[in-house]
């Protein structure tokens, strides 16, 4: 959520930046409603002040045994007026709120203004496109031949987009998750949490999924709980409605979770294989920081996520998203895209975002400054570290051999207990 007071004081700036994200239409109406509200609040507070004073007088008169009928009568009509104006204020606040919750975050000054993914910039390339002296298979062929992912039976069980990992495939998937959790916990000092996979509306609102992206989530109708699309949602909400002492910051969590996405509207494209699925596994990194350091942390977070791919020796590039491609809540975002040689494409395996105080405002996560004891909103950041399905694609396709087997990267071998995946059926 944006700061209404900030919008009020610099409306032109917000107009310009919201346009850069393609979402400026309601701004003037918002400012008008805000003005009306403030006028009415001032008027109504004066009436309340009057009522409080006279009510005290009435109490004094009654205690002294004097009559107060005329004052009571007068206050009766004042109270009625207060009630009417309070209702108007409530209505104005509701309208303001409705606009405010649909306004996206504004891009940071370092973010390029652009319309779509075509305007994104590659800011880093790590490693080189690997070369092979035999014809490459894509992950679908490899997985099917090796019998490590059973898409057919998965479709029978749940439908398309719900991978069923089998045998060494299941072990490999689990190994990836454990490897990444340990990596961030031990090497980067994150605190591990294991969050709930279903969340309530307040939690989904806080991180920005609601109200605009409700249809992207699975909803359990009986209990009105959402299946999480990312661990970002429960983990960010750990500190909802809290005031954190500054000396406790930064706080950094690493969490594994299953992730569930309806991917409504994306039928027909990329529906085969692992590239776009309804359920997947992801290790997520979440930071809470003071505002002054959040952009340094953003770079650090990116680096932490990159190191996973480096440890697995996978070629990747980093893309800085332009304003038009930023998600609803993000002020700045890097995508990490890993190379899949069999498919011949880069796949996004991580999104590393700084939300500044946008989520903190929605979630009411504040901190108390050590110096002057004042409270302010924290900055929240998160990044995938990383998501497995596309990592699996890159892994299978990068480490395939001309026999169709898969060499397990050294870093993973302690977790798999084997170094080669070959046909077992």
Partner RNA sequence: GGAGAGAUGGCCGAGCGGCUGAAGGCAGCUGCCUGCUAAGCAGUUGUAUCGUUAAAAGCGGUACCCCGGGUUCGAAUCCCGGUCUCUCCGCCA
Q: Is 36 a binder of RNA (CB under 7 A)?
A: no
Window 230-249: residues binding RNA (CB under 7 A)? 243
How many Cα neighbours within 13 Å face the side chain of 96?
A: 20
Q: H or E segment at 251?
A: strand 251-260
- Given the rule CB under 7 A, which of 21-29, 47-55, 113-121, 173-181 is the region that contacts RNA? 47-55
Burial class (CB in 10 A: 0-12, 13-18, 19+), 94: exposed
> Which one of residues 23, 24, 72, 311 is an interface residue with RNA (CB under 7 A)?
72
Residues forming the active site: 261, 276, 348, 351, 390
- Given the rule CB under 7 A, which of 14-22, 124-132, 315-323, 366-374 is the region that contacts RNA? 366-374
- Given the rule CB under 7 A, which of 116-124, 130-138, 153-161, 369-377 is the region that contacts RNA? 369-377
Q: Which of 299, 288, 253 is nearest to 363 (CA)?
A: 288
Measured in Å, how far apart are the chain's first and last C-alpha atoms?
54
Strand partners, 243: 366
> Which one of residues 76, 97, 124, 269 is an interface residue with RNA (CB under 7 A)?
76
* Residue 412, C-beta contacts closer than 8 angstroms, at least 6 positions apart: 172, 175, 176, 179, 312
In the complex with RNA, the residue whose CB is nearer, 3 or 307, is: 3
Pairing of strands 345-354, 332-340: antiparallel
In the complex with RNA, the residue whose CB is nearer, 42 or 131, is: 42
In the complex with RNA, the residue whose CB is nearer, 315 or 366, is: 366
> Which one of residues 366, 384, 393, 408 is an interface residue with RNA (CB under 7 A)?
366
Binding-site string for RNA from residue 85 to residue 124, where x marks contact by CB under 7 A and - marks none: -----x----------------------------------
Instruction: Determine contact, residues 274/389, Cβ cutoff 8 Å.
Output: yes
In the complex with RNA, the residue whose CB is nearer, 62 or 185, is: 62
Instruction: Determine contact, residues 149/165, Cβ cutoff 8 Å.
Output: yes
Chain centre distance of CA 134 = 41
> Which one of residues 16, 32, 59, 296 is an interface residue with RNA (CB under 7 A)?
59
Q: What is the DSSP letter of 196?
A: -
Please count the residues of this chain forming the interface with RNA, following the rule CB under 7 A.
30
By the criterion CB under 7 A, which residues form the site for RNA?
A: 5, 38, 41-42, 45-46, 48-49, 51-56, 58-59, 62, 72, 75-76, 78-79, 83, 90, 243, 366, 368, 373-375
């Amino acid at each position: 959520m944006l700061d209404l007071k900030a919008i009020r004081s610099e409306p032109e700036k917000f107009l310009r930046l919201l346009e850069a994200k393609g979402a400026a239409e309601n701004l003037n109406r918002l400012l008008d409603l805000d003005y009306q509200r403030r006028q009415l609040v001032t008027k109504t507070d004066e009436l309340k002040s009057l009522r409080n004073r006279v009510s005290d007088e009435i109490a004094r008169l009654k205690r002294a045994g004097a009559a107060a009928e005329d004052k009571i009568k007068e206050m009766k009509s004042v109270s009625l007026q207060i009630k009417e104006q309070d209702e108007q204020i409530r209505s104005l606040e509701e309208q303001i709120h409705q606009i405010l919750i649909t306004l996206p975050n504004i891009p940071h000054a370092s973010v390029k203004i652009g319309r779509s993914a075509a305007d994104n910039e590659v800011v880093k390339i790590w490693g080189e496109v690997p070369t092979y002296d035999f014809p490459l298979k894509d992950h679908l062929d490899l997985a099917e031949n090796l019998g490590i992912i059973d898409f057919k039976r998965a479709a029978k069980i749940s439908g398309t987009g719900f991978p069923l990992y089998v045998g060494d495939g299941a072990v490999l998937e689990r190994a990836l998750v454990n490897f990444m959790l340990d990596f961030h916990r031990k090497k980067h000092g994150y605190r591990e949490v294991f969050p709930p996979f279903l969340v309530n509306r307040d939690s989904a609102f806080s991180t920005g999924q609601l109200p605009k992206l409700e249809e992207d989530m699975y909803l359990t109708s009986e209990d009105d709980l959402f299946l999480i699309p990312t661990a970002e949602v429960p983990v960010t909400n750990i500190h909802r409605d809290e005031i954190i002492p500054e000396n406790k910051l930064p706080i950094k969590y690493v969490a594994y979770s299953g992730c569930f996405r309806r991917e409504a509207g994306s039928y027909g494209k990329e529906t085969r294989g692992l590239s776009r699925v309804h359920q997947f596994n992801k290790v997520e990194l979440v930071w809470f920081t003071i505002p002054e350091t959040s952009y340094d942390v953003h770079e650090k977070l990116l680096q932490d996520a990159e190191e996973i791919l480096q440890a697995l020796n996978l070629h990747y590039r980093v893309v800085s998203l332009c304003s038009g491609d930023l998600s609803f809540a993000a002020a700045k975002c890097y995508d990490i895209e890993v190379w899949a040689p069999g498919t011949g494409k880069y796949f996004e395996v991580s999104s590393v975002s700084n939300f500044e105080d946008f989520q903190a405002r929605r979630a009411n996560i504040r901190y108390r400054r050590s110096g002057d004891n004042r409270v302010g909103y924290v900055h929240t950041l998160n990044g995938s570290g990383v998501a497995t399905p596309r990592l699996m694609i890159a892994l299978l396709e990068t480490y395939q051999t001309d026999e169709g087997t898969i060499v397990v990267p050294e870093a993973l071998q302690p977790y798999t207990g084997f170094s080669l995946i070959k046909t077992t059926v």
